[in-house]
Structure 1
Amino acid sequence: MGANHPGTVASGVETATADDTALLLDVMLGKLATYLRMCGYDAAYAMDGDGEDPGDERLLARASAEHRVLLTRDISLAGRADRSVLLAGRTPIVQLRELESVGFTIELGERPARCGACNGPVGPLGDDEPIPEFAPDPTETTLWRCRDCGQVFWRGSHWRDVESRLNEN
Structure 2
Amino acid sequence: MRLRLLLDVMCGGLVSYLRMCGHDAAYALDRGIEDDRDLLELAREEDRTLVTRDVQLAGRAGDAILVESRDVREQLRELVAAGVPLALDERPSVCGRCNGPLERVPADASTPEYAPDPDGEAVWRCSACRQCFWRGSHWDDVRATLEGL
Q: TM-score, normalised by structure 2?
A: 0.94
* Mapped contact 2:125–2:131 kept (Cα < 8 A): yes
* Mapped contact 2:9–2:29 kept (Cα < 8 A): yes
The corresponding residue for 2:26 is 44
Q: Which moved more, 1:121-130 or 1:109-118?
A: 121-130
- 1:53 and 1:22 mapped to 2: Cα distance? 17
Runs of 4+ residues over 3 Å off in structure 1: 126-130
Aligned residues: CA RMSD: 1.4
Asked which structure has the greater RCO (Cα within 8 Å, sep 6+), the reply is: 1
Q: 5 Å matches for 1:1-169?
A: 17-18=1-2, 21-49=3-31, 52-126=32-106, 129-169=109-149
SS of residue matched to 1:28: helix
* Mapped contact 2:103–2:124 kept (Cα < 8 A): yes
User: Residue deviations 1:8-28, cap 9 Å, x none?
Assistant: xxxxxxxxx32xx20000011
* Mapped contact 2:33–2:39 kept (Cα < 8 A): no
Name the structure where helix makes up a greater proportion of residues: 2
Unaligned runs of 5+ in 1: 1-16
- 2:71 and 2:92 mapped to 1: Cα distance? 22
The one-letter amino acid paired with 2:28 is A
1:126 Cα offset (Å): 3.6
- 1:25 and 1:128 mapped to 2: Cα distance? 37
SS of residue matched to 1:48: helix
1:127 Cα offset (Å): 5.4
User: Residue deviations 1:7-64, cap 9 Å, x none?
Assistant: xxxxxxxxxx32xx20000011112111100111000000014xx3430001000101
- 2:147 and 2:118 mapped to 1: Cα distance? 28
Q: TM-score, normalised by structure 1?
A: 0.83
1:91 Cα offset (Å): 2.1
SS of residue matched to 2:29: coil
Q: Aligned residues: percent identity? A: 50
* Mapped contact 1:124–1:144 kept (Cα < 8 A): yes
